[in-house]
Amino acid sequence: MSKDLITLLDHSQEEITEILDLAERLRGAWGSRTVPQSLAGKSLALIWDAEGFRNRVSFELGIARMGGTWVQVPGRLDERESVEDVVRYLDNWFDGIVARTQTYDHMQRLAAASCHPVINARTDINHPCEILGDLAYLRAKRGRLDGLKVVFAGEATNLCHPWFAAAARLPIEVVQVCPEGYEVAADWLATARDGAVGELRVSHDLDAELVDAGVVYTDCWPWSRTEEDHARIAAGFLPHQITAARLRSAPDDLVFLPCPPVTRGEEVSADAMDFLGHHVFETKEYLLHAQNAVLTMLI
């Protein structure tokens, strides 16, 4: 197993399955207040170079409950000192690094420079822990992942890429649905497809893909600088908006996972967020357990 979790593509189907298995066991231990003290005597450096509270809070809580110590590293990466120099200091004191960085390049440099495990808590193009948590929830709900079809409605974001990476390693189908021009890069998709266990596709027809979908997953619309930009983006993405009407016409067992933060009226309609089929809040319970599994296996 790789010493780091930077992308799911660095890990085998067996390794990812082992993480999901452990996450389920740790969930049971969490509920019975018998969490293994697998991080006793261990210390983790937390680098939080971007916004977001769910991963940070769950990492901090998980480390503490498993007997470890965490310290928030102040400042921003690669400003006054190089990433490599910062890592060399941290390696003296810590057993691993959990990092949320602005760029994937920074994450790769952290991992390359550190002699200890580095765990990716999100970059601009990748967010593996989030998808591991979602996979753990879906497997617990369905009983298995084999044959699962995930429709990802949105541009090629840091959530789209790890969903495709999951399909490259697991027997699931992932379809990105988006307006033309917002697809995942063709060369990246070709790399992920090489030796893939599952199926990876891009489509522009949301309704056709929802007919046999097991999961519909959304991410925020592209960021707009001006009102003109927003109007242009809305014109392209509104036909791909998840609405309550679309959810009612989808399979009865469809799982609707709008990834937070959700912008009502954009990637999802307001009535879709009030639809009983969405599972966004209970899904994030598994984020904690998946991250705890990663910490246990790598640290």
Report the CATH number at residue 152. Answer: 3.40.50.1370
pLDDT digits (tens, 9 = 90+) for 272-286: 887 766 677 788 899
pTM of the predicted protein model: 0.94
Among 120, 128, 73, 75, residue whose Cα is nearest residue 101: 120
Instruction: Check whether residue 167 and residue 252 sit in a common domain.
Output: yes
Average per-residue pLDDT for the chain: 93
The answer, yes or no, to whether residue 122 has pLDDT greater than 80, is: yes
Neighbours of 180 (CB within 10 A): 8
With contact defined as beta carbons under 8 Å apart, do 256 and 114 qualify? no
CB 8 within 8 A of CB 16: yes
Distance CA(238)–CA(298), nearest Å, equals 42
Judge if 139 and 251 occupy the same domain: yes
Can you tell me the distance from the alpha carbon of 121 to that of 126, in angstroms, rounded to the nearest whole number? 9
Q: Is the residue at 2 inside a domain?
A: no
Residues 144 and 60 in one domain: no
Q: Does 3 fall in a domain?
A: no
Question: Which of 172, 171, 265 is CA-nearest to residue 215?
Answer: 172
Check whether residue 119 and residue 207 sit in a common domain.
no
The predicted pLDDT at position 225 comes to 83
User: How far separated are the first and last CA of the chain, in Å rounded?
Assistant: 12
- Tell me the pLDDT tens digit for each residue of 237-251: 999 999 999 998 888
**Domain match, 132 and 273 both:** yes
In the predicted model, is pLDDT for residue 92 greater than 90?
yes
Residue 135 covered by a domain: yes
Structural domain of residue 73, as residue ranges? 8-126+288-298
1 in any annotated domain? no
Whether residues 67 and 132 fall in one domain: no
Domain shared by 171 and 244, yes or no: yes
Q: Are residues 122 and 194 in the same domain?
A: no
Residue type, 178: C
Residue 99 confidence (pLDDT) above 70: yes
Neighbours of 112 (CB within 10 A): 13
pLDDT at position 276 is: 60
**Domain identity same for 243 and 194:** yes
Q: Which tokens belong to 100?
A: 């949320």
Q: Do 152 and 121 fall into the same domain? A: no
**Residues 141, 121 share a domain:** no
Claim to verify: residue 173 and residue 255 sit in the same structural domain: yes
Structurally, how many domains does the chain consist of? 2
Q: What is the pLDDT of residues 165-201, one digit of tens each?
A: 999 999 999 999 999 999 999 999 999 999 999 999 9
Residue 86, phi then psi, degrees to nearest 5: -60, -45
